[in-house]
Amino acid sequence: MLDGKVKASEFPLLYHITPEEGLLNDPNGLVKFQGSYHVFYQLNPFGTVHKNKCWGHVVSEDMIHWKRLPIALAPSEYYDKDGVYSGSGIVKDGKLYLFYTGNVIVNEEERKSYQCAAVSSDGITFEKLGPVIEHPIGYTRHVRDPKVWQEEDGSYWMILGAQTEELTGDTLLYRSEDLLNWESCGSLLQDKPELGYMWECPDLLKFNESDCFLFSPQGLPAEEKRFLNTNQTGYLVGKFSQTDHFVSVSRFQELDHGFEFYAPQTFRDGERTLLYGWAAAMPASNEQCLPTIKEGWVHALTIPREVALIEDQLIQKPAVELKQLRVNEEQSTFSLDMAKEYRKTMAHAYAELVVTFSQHTKDFVINISDAFYLKHRYKEQEIIIERKNWETGQMEQRFGFYQGTLTDLTIYLDGSMIEIFINGGRLVFTSRYFVYGSQRELIITGELGAAEGIIYPLALQ
Ligand code: FRU
């Protein structure tokens, strides 16, 4: 939703960031600059395929009402002529610096990656400063996605997603005093887990006691209930220090269990850490069958989420700003008793559903028309989501487990997007689902004990 207009579409999204035309992928350069939130994103403005990558740009005071700005960075120089790939933003001396990867096709066999910088005083027009890092020895051309942050002592640090010449995923660490001269510090991880052949979009999230290394590995073999998308996103919990780099103390955990989630990025906003992800179509082969393709646009970012680390788990909650969307006067509340069915026809496709469960909750199903099902299996402490695949028409499933008891669930519905937050954001699912027309039927069946629910219609106000 931008400039007060919902995009004319059969599947309009009201409060998610979408491209005006073309293909959107990773969130880039997330930053608060001169009092406004800036969200950049990978954009092919010329078509719905992965080519001509630029940085699309939107700006907002509240992360709800967005204004579209001109494309911030587009291919133009020898070092980025075939794509301005993903990266991050940071403010220094009142200027906004962007770091990105320039993609260059030398010939059929040879491609190159350059890690580049750009700078702006107004946050709207950017001057390219060119490459700032030499290509590391021992790595293939798959080195990209610079994420930059500042440490308390004033030094700047950068991590890059990388592939070693042995074709394993890795993350490289660099240090700088001025954002322009960078020295190599080797690998981010001392003990690198064997996870796929390439790690994309690395990010380091710093919390009080522990830190979190978030990344998107490619090439993890699918398991029965995990790693079922084309590529995965997950994290390791540990501690970053300038001397030891990142020492991890946990195993790799998936961040989002839905069908559509990849390449997230975080940024600091005062005391909180916010995250946007790319609601990517997975499996990627489905992408060109997405119903919006015929309207000339494809994909969206997730809603902004506040992330926190509780013990060894990264939890995600919808940013509080989203509460502004609630049309409070029209909310409907309901109680769900054992073995009763609750049905509600929602007049439009934008709603927030909040349910709190009692200790008597057992198995139940929530379905949105006949296109999306959420199933709770209490003995297994499992949530299964099921939707109709838009390519094959077959139902398909994704899985997630919680610990303890089921306490609460929040569902954000926005046109063809659904985001589900369970148990205070400990278990999260992002997915697209397609229902024609603006009505949605919400049906809840099963044994819910004495659960209480609220449905808020959502609108831009
Ligand atoms: C992740 C990614 C990044 C790359 C960008 C190109 O989706 O492959 O690694 O920078 O997309 O659009």
From 238, 276, 259, 223, select the one nearest 86 (Cα to Cα): 276
- Cα(20) to centroid(ligand 1), Å: 20
From 39, 124, 127, 42, select the one nearest 76 (Cα to Cα): 127
Out of 26, 145, 170, 203, pick the active-site residue: 26
pLDDT value for 246: 97
Indicate which residue's Cα is closest to atom 8 of ligand 1. 200
The answer to whether residues 298 and 382 belong to one domain is no
Query: Biggest alpha carbon distance in the chain?
Result: 66
pLDDT value for 1: 55
Matching residue, tokens 């600059």: 33
Which residues contact residue 270 at a Cβ distance below 8 angstroms, ignoring those fewer than 6 apart?
none
The answer to whether residues 335 and 255 belong to one domain is no
Pocket of ligand 1 (CB under 6 A): 25-26, 42, 53, 85-86, 101, 144-145, 200-201, 262-263
CATH code (residue 346): 2.60.120.560
* 160 falls within a domain: yes
Q: pLDDT 10s per residue in the chain (461 long)?
A: 556 555 667 778 999 999 999 999 999 999 999 999 999 999 999 999 999 999 999 999 999 999 999 999 999 999 999 999 999 999 999 999 999 999 999 998 899 999 999 999 999 999 999 999 999 999 999 999 999 999 999 999 999 999 999 999 999 999 999 999 999 999 999 888 999 999 999 999 999 999 999 999 999 999 999 999 999 999 999 999 999 999 999 999 999 999 999 999 999 999 999 999 999 987 777 888 898 999 999 999 999 999 999 989 999 999 999 999 999 888 899 888 756 788 999 888 899 999 999 888 999 999 998 889 999 999 999 999 999 888 888 899 999 999 999 999 999 999 999 999 999 999 999 999 988 777 889 999 998 888 999 999 999 98
Confirm whether 153 is a catalytic residue.
Answer: no
CA torsion angle 406 412 415 416 (round to 10): -50
Q: Best mutation site among 24, 145, 216, 282 for ligand 1, i.e. most ligand atoms within 8 A of its Cβ? A: 145
How far from each other are the two terminal CA atoms of the chain, in whole angstroms?
12
Q: How far apart are CA 131 and CA 79, in angstroms?
A: 7
pLDDT value for 10: 77
* 258 falls within a domain: yes
Last residue of a domain, one of 273, 289, 320: 320
The answer to whether residues 315 and 332 belong to one domain is no
* 1 falls within a domain: no
The ligand 1 atom nearest the CA atom of 216 = 1
* Continuous segment of H or E residues that includes residue 162: strand 156-164
CATH code (residue 127): 2.115.10.20
From 408, 393, 397, select the one nearest 318 (Cα to Cα): 408
What are the φ/ψ torsions at residue 61 (nearest 5 degrees)?
-90, -25
Q: Which domain holds residue 32?
A: 6-320
The answer to whether residues 305 and 338 belong to one domain is no
Matching residue, tokens 């190599």: 184
The answer to whether residues 85 and 129 belong to one domain is yes
Bridge partners (DSSP) listed for residue 302: none
> How many domains does the chain contain in total?
2
The answer to whether residues 247 and 179 belong to one domain is yes
pLDDT value for 431: 96
- Cα(263) to centroid(ligand 1), Å: 8
- Cα(200) to centroid(ligand 1), Å: 7
Q: Do residues 254 and 234 make contact, with C-beta atoms less than 8 angstroms apart?
A: yes
pLDDT value for 66: 96
- Cα(36) to centroid(ligand 1), Å: 25
The answer to whether residues 301 and 330 belong to one domain is no
Length of the chain as a residue count: 461
State the alpha helices, DSSP H only, in 177-322: none
Last residue of a domain, one of 320, 353, 377: 320
Q: How far is the CA of 263 from the CAs of 136, 193, 210, in angstroms?
A: 23, 19, 22
* 57 falls within a domain: yes
The answer to whether residues 305 and 337 belong to one domain is no
**Does residue 380 sit in helix, strand or coil?**
coil
From 264, 35, 34, select the one nearest 147 (Cα to Cα): 264
The answer to whether residues 190 and 160 belong to one domain is yes
Bridge partners (DSSP) listed for residue 278: 262, 301
The DSSP symbol for 155 reads: -
pTM of the model: 0.96
The answer to whether residues 20 and 71 belong to one domain is yes
The answer to whether residues 300 and 351 belong to one domain is no
Q: How far apart are CA 453 and CA 461, in angstroms?
A: 23
Last residue of a domain, one of 264, 288, 320: 320
Q: Do residues 395 and 388 make contact, with C-beta atoms less than 8 angstroms apart?
A: yes
* 235 falls within a domain: yes
The answer to whether residues 67 and 28 belong to one domain is yes
